[in-house]
Amino acid sequence: MFKMLGMAAVIVAVLLAGLGTFFLTRSPAPPSTPLQAIPVQSSAASTVFQVQPGASRARFMIDEVLRGSPNTVVGETDQVAGQIAFDPAHPSSAQAGAITINARTLATDENLRDRQIRNFILSTDEYELITFTPTAITGLPQSAVVGMPYPLQITGQLTMKGVTQEVTFDATATLASPTELHGTASTIIDYADWDIGIPSVPLVASVADQVRLELDLVATAA
Q: Which CATH superfamily is domain 2-221 in?
A: Lipid/polyisoprenoid-binding, YceI-like (2.40.128.110)
What is the average pLDDT across 96-100? 97
Contacts of 169 (CB under 8 A, 6+ apart): 132, 153, 154, 155, 156, 185, 186, 187, 213, 215
**Mean pLDDT of all residues belonging to the chain:** 88
pLDDT for 205 equals 62
Least confident of 2-16, 42-56, 100-114, 186-200: 2-16
pLDDT at 211 exceeding the cut of 80:
yes
What is the rounded CA–CA span in Å between residue 74 and residue 137?
27
H helical segments located in 103-157: 111-116
Q: What's the CA gap between 84 and 77, in Å, rounded?
A: 20
What is the predicted pLDDT for the residue at 203? 61
| Between residues 92 and 41, the one the model is more confident about | 92
How much is the pLDDT for 155?
98
CA distance 173 to 175: 7
pLDDT at 25: 59
107-161: pLDDT as tens digits:
999 999 999 999 999 999 999 999 999 999 999 999 999 999 999 999 999 999 9
pLDDT digit string, tens, across residues 11-36: 333 333 343 444 455 788 999 988 99
DSSP state at residue 3: H
pTM reported for the whole predicted model: 0.85
* Domain coordinates in residue numbering, the chain: 2-221
CB atoms within 10 A of CB 164: 13
Average pLDDT, integer, range 171-180: 96
Judge whether residue 3 has pLDDT over 50. no
